[in-house]
Structure 1
Amino acid sequence: MMVNTRRFGLIEINEDQVITFIGPVLGFETLKKYAFVSTGEDRQPFEFLQAIEDENLTFIVTDPFVFFKDYEFQLDKHWTEALDVHHEEDIQVMVIVTVRSPEDITCNLRAPIVINRTKRVAAQVILEQGSYPTKQPLLGEKKGADADVNPVSK
């Protein structure tokens, strides 16, 4: 199928690339169909998640385990059943990356996207356990005007 996108222009997406969100991306409850899009450039470990039903919506996502080695959570039974997960190998975990500036890049570790790539279903899952933030700095601490600064006294 041909899909018009704001970021990539007109692209072809095969039906087997389409992932249906049974637990919607927060704030985008009416959009259910997405696809991972490659630009042909090596942007690892980042990917683009393009909404099929809205040409203007593209998320940057990444594997959180690449950046946060201690990141872990237990997927609730409700989600393992809904996503038809039978083995840990069935799932892939991604998190949404927000780029506000080159110095302010964060990941939402509180609400990962859990994907069963075999079944092509996904859900954004809000983690009730743990204290993961929605704006975890990707590369160290936040810098710039919005950072907490200790005043220097003479």
Structure 2
Amino acid sequence: MNIQTAYHGNITVNDEELLSFIKGIPGFHDENEFALLPLEGNEWFQVLQSTSTPDLAFITTNPFLFFPEYDFELDGASLDQLGNPTTEDIQVLSILTVKDPFKESTANLQAPIIINTVKKSGKQVILTDTNYRTQHQILAQPAGKKG
């Protein structure tokens, strides 16, 4: 499938790699199909690109790279919607808010993207009753440093 993207221009993506978001993403309920694309020269960040809206693309990352203690449980309804994946079949992503300078960029830990890597289905889960917020600085400044 050929798609127009926000960061890669016009590209061809393999249909088998497309991700289905049955209920869309909060705020984008009509967007049901995305491609997870690499950012060239960077293995830590990816682009979650809508296949139908070229300007709709989210920079994402594996939150455990920056927050090793990140932990949450998925509710039964979310697991059902994702096709009841095993732990090994789940990929967790956080949507980033990229800022200038980059060291000010933040990750949304309150609403992770959960992907069933086997069924190629995805869902953004909004965690409740948690201390996680929508803006956690990914490049935290070491203690005692002034910037």
The residue number in structure 2 matching 1:16 is 16
Gap regions ≥5 residues in structure 1: 142-154
Amino acid at match of 1:38: P
**Deviation by residue 1:73-114 (Cα, 9 ceiling, x = unmatched):** 010011111111241111110000111212320000000000
The residue number in structure 2 matching 1:79 is 78
Moved over 3 A (4+): none
Deviation at 1:58, TM superposition (A): 1.2
Kept in 1: contact 2:23–2:30 (CA 8 A): no
Deviation at 1:138, TM superposition (A): 0.7
Separation in 2, partners of 1:60, 1:44: 12
Q: Structure 1-normalised TM-score?
A: 0.85
Computing the radius of gyration from Cα coordinates, the structure with the larger value is: 1
Separation in 1, partners of 2:138, 2:22: 27
Gap regions ≥5 residues in structure 2: 142-147
Report the secondary structure of 1:89's partner residue. helix
The residue number in structure 2 matching 1:28 is 28
The residue number in structure 1 matching 2:131 is 131
Kept in 1: contact 2:33–2:52 (CA 8 A): yes
Amino acid at match of 2:54: E
> How many residues are treated as equivalent by the alignment?
140
Report the secondary structure of 1:131's partner residue. coil
